[in-house]
A and B are shown apart, each in its own frame.
Chain A
Amino acid sequence: MSIAVQTTNLTKHYKNVVALENLSITVKEGEVFGLIGPNGAGKSTTLKILTTLLTPTSGQAHIFGIDVIEEPDEIRKIISYLPEEAGAYKQLTGREYLEFMAGFHQDDGKDPKAMVDRGVGLAGLDERIDDRTKEYSKGMRRRLLIARSLMTIPKLAVMDEPASGLDVNHAYYVRKIIREYVENQGVSVLLSSHNMLEVEFLCDRIALIDDGRIIDTGTPKGLIERYDAMNLEEVFIKVTRGGA
């Protein structure tokens, strides 16, 4: 099994604020890896560096052996990114949005039409897929965006809080299609989340992150045992308060 993501001493400073400090993680191919931590811990910064949106102050990052800093154009061909607060173009229909996004992949030799068909199926919005996205609820929009991020069958899907703010039905749907897609298509996933239920359900391994540093890494079950906790939530509290 090859390495999907490898970061080494990744550091990011904004003026006087330290967002990341020597962060090193390894995500294996085909696994769902979760970054878990409180607000401002550095989760989103890590994801934005890996998706070529931000440049690290120092350190290295590779996705499937490609240098994120040196070859951002190559990285963008093999990843997809779902930001935490992403929108869809309000004046486009759901289908047009998927077509627009698929249009960027036609130079890669992929079939945009097949992508869009896949995206329509993943979104599960039935006939509402042809409504403009401004008429969508938050849950519907998130389903569309998840579909967009998976329809290209990226080698690595990076998802920032994939189901945050969704009601139970939409959140369940979103987690289900991510899990199914990973199992069926072999996509590797790196996600961040606050939701411990989501993390236990989705992630093969997780890294606990606080103040820009990795505190611990392991499987959800392994961490629960290691910290003698009832669940991941307790692990999270113990780790972030230093009570372990």
Chain B
Amino acid sequence: MGALFNIIRKEVKEMVRDPRLLLGMIIVPVLIFPLMGSAMTATVESVEQSASNINIALINNDLGNRSAQLIDVFNEKGITIHDRSEYEPEVLFDELDPEYSVIVVIPPNFSFNIENDSSVVVNFYTVMETYSISEEIPASVLGSYMAEYKQMIVDERLTDAFPDQEPWMVENPILLSNEAVIDGEIVENVSPGRITEQMMMQSMMIPMVMMMLLIMAAQLAATSVAMEKEEKTLETLLTMPVSRNSILFGKVGGVVVVSIFALIAYMFGLSYYISSMANMSNDAGLNLAEIGLAPTTTGIFLLIVTLFLSLIAALSVAVLLGSLTEDVRSAQALMGALYVPIFIPAIALMLVDISQLPEFIQGIIYAIPFSYPVLASKAMYTGLYTPILFGIVYQVIFTIAMILLAGKLFSTEKILTMKINLKNSKGGAFPLLNMLQGKKK
């Protein structure tokens, strides 16, 4: 045990001290979510800023009461209006004062047409320069105020035509109530769409964190083994009075320790990101627990087990692949092969349920050991644990097989003689051939 901890301690020290590993594989991925969250918050603030501070250039060609009414609506909403009625709009396009967000042109027949139950066109002109969302927002906000005014006119017309009816009843002969039913109970005023939206938000979190964590951990493990070869420390280590399995488990253990810290940091980062996203939405947020959709304790336990087994499986594969290469760059290139099975289930199951996929794709997903944390994250809510329990058995078998394979490689001279070099194409055109032949050192 002493030798195992000795290796784990050394591995952690090396990973934490190596700026390349620390920055590229731990700090940047950990910071990416908070940075994304901050960027989102900044975007929202900028959008809110442009929505709350609208300046318009108004060209009012109408002399009636209706245009005065519309202007009153704009004034009530806090819009700053610059009267530029003496100009043609085209003049303002070229000499647009940067303070004007939108040029609004009310036509001469505005009041007349409204009074006579006809239609009229009001023009909004937004001069686009940066093509950003904040440039588009003022016209959208003005449009919504205009819609309020339009509704007022519609209501007036309906009251005139149907004096005995409420205008909204005339407008809505059929009203729809779309409510979700969970465990035989109606969830009042909550549509199925809102629940799936919220579930998706939560179920995206686990696959995303899992993908990033597995990739980071696998890269660390492969790099750690390949670095022993590149830095010529492996031969010395292999002649130390320590079992080859201790070396293997020590490397995996070191990465697991770092990964646990990274996982905690990822979760903090991601929850910051999610809360930034939630702040953006006007929806007050649906509390899934309150409507009977809280994850079960069994579900959470199964998720942790599948996630841990995925991590160990990914590390075993990474150590195995790292052992086959001669240098860090080749190891990292070879790790690309591991990303595909990590990405496929995470992305596919983020969007649809496995039952909706064709059987062939379902088979592939069940065959990938890294699918089960994603499946478990859904089973936490659905309670369908059977596939997850089978998955755990499968993950254990897969992981043991990988560890035995890596242990076998470590216990023979192949760990020194077998190598794949992806750094240059010279001789690397047939890397698998070289690997199978066990190139002579």
A interface residue numbers (CB < 8 A to B): 14-15, 17, 48, 51-55, 73, 76-77, 79-83, 85-92, 96, 100-101, 103-108, 132, 145, 148
In the complex where A55-B412, A106-B2, A107-B3 touch, is A91 in contact with B233 (Cβ < 8 A)? no
- Determine whether the beta carbon of A73 is less than 8 Å from that of B413: no
Q: How far is the CB of B78 from chain A (nearest CB, A)?
A: 59
- Determine whether the beta carbon of B2 is less than 8 Å from that of A83: no
Q: How far is the CB of B24 from chain A (nearest CB, A)?
A: 15
Chain B residue contacts of A81, Cβ below 8 A: 235-236, 239
With beta carbons under 8 angstroms apart, the residue of B17, B416, B437 that contacts A15 is B437
Chain A residue contacts of B14, Cβ below 8 A: 89, 91-92
Q: B82 contacts the other chain (Cβ, under 8 Å)?
A: no
Contact with A along B1-28 (1 / 0, CB 8 A): 0110010011001100110000000000
Within 8 A of A (CB), among B103-136: none
Chain A residue contacts of B416, Cβ below 8 A: 48, 53-54
Q: B242 contacts the other chain (Cβ, under 8 Å)?
A: yes
- Nearest opposing residue in chain A for B11, CB measure: A89
Within 8 A of A (CB), among B381-437: 412-413, 416-417, 437
In the complex where A92-B10, A96-B13, A107-B2 touch, is A87 in contact with B233 (Cβ < 8 A)? yes
**CA distance in complex: A104, B9 (Å):** 13
Chain B residue contacts of A15, Cβ below 8 A: 437-438, 440
Q: What would be 26 A-B contacts, judged by CB atoms less than 8 Å apart?
A: A14-B440, A15-B438, A17-B440, A48-B235, A48-B416, A53-B238, A53-B239, A53-B416, A54-B416, A73-B243, A76-B239, A76-B242, A77-B241, A79-B239, A86-B236, A89-B10, A92-B14, A96-B13, A100-B9, A101-B236, A104-B3, A104-B6, A104-B242, A105-B241, A106-B2, A148-B236
In the complex where A79-B239, A80-B239 touch, is A103 in contact with B413 (Cβ < 8 A)? no
Q: How far is the CB of A151 from chain B (nearest CB, A)?
A: 13
Chain B contact residue count (CB 8 A cutoff): 27
**CA distance in complex: A54, B236 (Å):** 13
- Determine whether the beta carbon of A104 is less than 8 Å from that of B413: no
In the complex where A54-B413, A103-B2 touch, is A86 in contact with B233 (Cβ < 8 A)? yes
Chain A residue contacts of B13, Cβ below 8 A: 91-92, 96
**CA distance in complex: A53, B3 (Å):** 19
Q: B194 contacts the other chain (Cβ, under 8 Å)?
A: no
Q: B231 contacts the other chain (Cβ, under 8 Å)?
A: yes
Chain A residue contacts of B243, Cβ below 8 A: 73
What total count of A-B pairs have CB within 8 Å? 83
In the complex where A104-B3, A104-B6, A107-B241 touch, is A89 in contact with B235 (Cβ < 8 A)? no
In the complex where A15-B437, A107-B3 touch, is A51 in contact with B241 (Cβ < 8 A)? no
Chain A residue contacts of B417, Cβ below 8 A: 14, 54
**CA distance in complex: A2, B18 (Å):** 47
Q: Would you list the 8 A-B pairs with minimal beta carbon distance, nearest first? A: A103-B6, A91-B17, A87-B231, A81-B239, A87-B232, A14-B440, A76-B241, A104-B240
- Determine whether the beta carbon of A100 is less than 8 Å from that of B412: no
**CA distance in complex: A55, B232 (Å):** 20
- Nearest opposing residue in chain B for A92, CB measure: B13
Chain B residue contacts of A88, Cβ below 8 A: 233
Q: How far is the CB of A136 from chain B (nearest CB, A)?
A: 13
**CA distance in complex: A85, B413 (Å):** 18
Apart from A80-B239, A145-B236: 16 A-B pairs, beta carbons within 8 A: A14-B417, A15-B440, A48-B235, A53-B235, A53-B238, A85-B232, A87-B231, A87-B232, A87-B233, A89-B14, A91-B13, A91-B17, A92-B13, A104-B6, A104-B242, A107-B241
**CA distance in complex: A52, B416 (Å):** 12
Scoring A80, A89, A105 by chain B CB atoms within 10 A of each residue's CB, the highest score goes to A89
In the complex where A51-B239, A53-B239, A54-B413 touch, is A100 in contact with B232 (Cβ < 8 A)? no
Scoring B2, B17, B241, B243 by chain A CB atoms within 10 A of each residue's CB, the highest score goes to B241
Chain A residue contacts of B412, Cβ below 8 A: 55
Chain B residue contacts of A89, Cβ below 8 A: 10, 14, 231, 233
**CA distance in complex: A79, B241 (Å):** 9
- Determine whether the beta carbon of A100 is less than 8 Å from that of B239: no
Chain B residue contacts of A82, Cβ below 8 A: 236
**CA distance in complex: A145, B239 (Å):** 14
Q: How far is the CB of A18 from chain B (nearest CB, A)?
A: 11
Chain B residue contacts of A91, Cβ below 8 A: 13-14, 17-18
Within 8 A of A (CB), among B217-238: 231-233, 235-236, 238
- Nearest opposing residue in chain A for B15, CB measure: A91
**CA distance in complex: A17, B440 (Å):** 9
**CA distance in complex: A88, B240 (Å):** 14
**CA distance in complex: A91, B17 (Å):** 6
